[in-house]
Structure 1
Amino acid sequence: MTKFGIFLTTAKLPNITEADVFNNSSYYATLGEQLGFDSCWTLEHHFTPYGLCGDPLVMAAYLLGKTERLQVGTAVSVLPNHHPVQLAERVAMLDRLSNGRFLFGVGRGGFVKDFEVFDQPADKSHLIMREWMSIINDAFTHPGVVERDNEFIRIPAVPVYPTPQTPGGPPVYVVCESPSSTEWVASQGLPMMMSWWLEKDAMRTQIELYNDVAEAHGHDPEGVDHQISCLVSVGDSREQARAAVHDNFDWFRRTGQEAAFRIQHLRNLPNYAELMRKWEEFALDQGGDLDRANLQHTENILDLNVVGTPEYCVDHLGELMEATGVRHVLAGFEGPGTREAVAENMTRFAEEVIPSLKKQFDTVAAA
């Protein structure tokens, strides 16, 4: 069955206040529930207007209290930023308080200051993430006793409370942006969250790699609840849809790049080699001109994502779902900027795009 969620950026665009950011996010979540979306997802960012939500679990708790049916997830909790035992406690509490409506999306992070301020080695982020997930899994199993003594952390043997309501803990989703991450996630049998800047063929290749590795580790890849993320702008014409979000997409790109690892950082981080490779390829495509590459990057974001008429959005997203086999879509609607325009964007997608995709894919699944 197809599922559709919304992700809440909490981005502080230049024309809105911090109060607007959180009031709007709450409004979008409750509107999403009214429009029939299945879930909403909170992001974690620090030290940048790219996102004001430093604690996605706090925000998720608030939104779970504001809604009745909607599932609420993190997209993502950046694991190296947190103590794993405390994180396990808080996630289990949310699972119980929400009666199982909480979803746990995780990632290892890619913003420079996070690692500096929270004092974790960026060159070992992948190892820290795997260790933290192992600790959290131990906390979610009966009797939920955790004990560690290694290069990353020392924890004396302690029981972790509360235990989650959902057996084994709430559903876990993992951001994957490299072959090595995909291989590890597949070895665990966990679903992937695939990024909105990936091309269709790259997503399909990622799914194929996942399936091969999952099977080799004894996991059945059939029916794994992977997610595709995308940015959405629905308009009366493709030109109108692009114009409505162009400037804010460019702001998102620039602001995110300022906070993220840059090429000078990536050169010293072999565990982010795939990200380095993508940036080098993109710069080479633009003749080595980084300024030109940055400008082209915004146009590429518009081309890759779900930006156009309702018919275009159905066709574009339908092709992506068909190529990958993924039926769970997370959509970002905040590109138009103002609350009224974002609400209209969400409403048009819910009423003019989702029904066609459900008819296309759910009818086939039912048959």
Structure 2
Amino acid sequence: MRFGIFLLAGQFPGQDHTDALETAVAAAVAAEDAGFDDVWMAEHHFIPYGVCPSAVAFASYVLGRTRRIHAGTAISILPTRHPVALAEEAALLDQLSGGRFWLGVGRGGPWVDLEVFGTGLAAYEEGFPESLDLVLRWLTSPRVEASGTRYRFREVPVVPRPRTRPHPPVVVACTSPGTVELAARRGLPMLLGMHIGDAEKAELVNRYAAVARAAGHDPGAVRHLAAAVAYVADHREDAVKALRAAMPGWLERGLAGYQRVDGRPTERRDPVAYTDLLCSIHPVGSPDDCAARLAETAARTGIRHFILFVEGAGDRDRTLENIARLGREVLPRVRERIG
């Protein structure tokens, strides 16, 4: 079993950007003290749902503040980046951290980010496979050239090359069957979101396994990751109450900030109903409740690496207490149940 924390640096009501970012940094440092294995940072642009615009930059700061824990991006939005620039940063952090960096990438969405960064809607709709393959070639080869649809350049040397071979860990955020199949054909682990429950996760894991086998990969050798909301209190009703008091206001304001680049209206979840859903399918409750929920998800899906969203109470002190209690009272219970 492997456990990380998942940070959004969400700007909750009453907070400013400094509050959100300082809480996220304090949480990352606290996670190492609490015995977590890794810290993962989300990346968003122009919305208070998450005020970190560069997961790589945040990860580099965390790696400099810690000594043991690994840091990952969950995710770096590949359609808004040049894949070589992102791969160079990943190789650099792999070298400087002694192999403690994980690169998580994903397609993101059809948001205004694509307009601002000048990459266009096609980068989201069609360009992800080419960009992903270029990242992988850069992380595994001494020299790289490109002759694709979006990227064409003469052969150049890779400097620096990563120290981790065959390459630093790369995971792919998967929210659709197409992306699942893309990751499976390349033998890359999936990162599954916290918006789906065990049945949906198991279905995606099974689809991945079938495609991976057909592509010549052993799906049993791939360790997928799953994100989950996690909040521990003495009693389940107290944990749910804390999240219900903080998350709907943050979700309502944060998710409303998404703007489609094509101008179409964006469908939005009801923030209260979404909070209730997350509380019902994730480790929210007493230490025993949380441990049982994580063990059940592991048994139903085969997933053994969880990254836990710990900021849901919207308060620095509660976030740090949550991390400490998860590390002290929940993670040992899960490991005892799973073995």
- Indicate whether the TM-score tops 0.5: yes
Counterparts of residues 29-48 of structure 1 (less than 5 Å): 29-48=28-47
Offset of residue 143 of structure 1 = 2.1
Contact 2:247 2:314 in 1 (8 A): no
**In structure 2, C-alpha distance between the alignment counterparts of 1:31 and 1:244, rounded to whole Å:** 20
- Name the structure 2 match of 1:285: none
Q: 1:267-325 deviations in whole A, cap 9, x for unaligned?
A: 9xxxxxxxx9xx7xxxxxxxxxx88x554233222212221111111121211110001
- Name the structure 2 match of 1:237: 235
- Name the structure 1 match of 2:20: 21
**In structure 2, C-alpha distance between the alignment counterparts of 1:255 and 1:106, rounded to whole Å:** 25
* Identical-pair percentage: 36
Q: 2:207 aligns with which of 209, 220, 234?
A: 209
Q: 1:322-366 deviations in whole A, cap 9, x for unaligned?
A: 0001110100110112211111111111111111111121x2xxx
Contact 1:147 1:158 in 2 (8 A): no
**In structure 1, C-alpha distance between the alignment counterparts of 2:314 and 2:273, rounded to whole Å:** 21
Unaligned runs of 5+ in 1: 268-275, 280-289
Contact 2:111 2:259 in 1 (8 A): yes
Q: 2:283 aligns with which of 303, 306, 311?
A: 306
Structure with greater proportional helix content = 1
Contact 2:48 2:257 in 1 (8 A): no
Contact 1:148 1:154 in 2 (8 A): yes
What one-letter code is carried by the residue in structure 1 that aligns with 2:36?
Answer: F
Where 1:48 maps in the other structure, the secondary structure is coil
Tell me, yes or no, if structure 1 residue 199 matches structure 2 residue 192: no
**In structure 1, C-alpha distance between the alignment counterparts of 2:271 and 2:29, rounded to whole Å:** 35
- Name the structure 2 match of 1:273: none
Where 1:112 maps in the other structure, the secondary structure is coil
Q: TM-score, structure 2 length as denominator?
A: 0.93
Tell me, yes or no, if structure 1 residue 145 matches structure 2 residue 144: yes
- Name the structure 2 match of 1:251: 249
Over aligned residue pairs, what C-alpha RMSD do you find? Answer: 2.0
Where 2:308 maps in the other structure, the secondary structure is strand
- Name the structure 2 match of 1:220: 218
- Name the structure 2 match of 1:272: none
Unaligned runs of 5+ in 2: none
Where 1:228 maps in the other structure, the secondary structure is strand
Where 1:222 maps in the other structure, the secondary structure is helix
- Name the structure 1 match of 2:70: 71
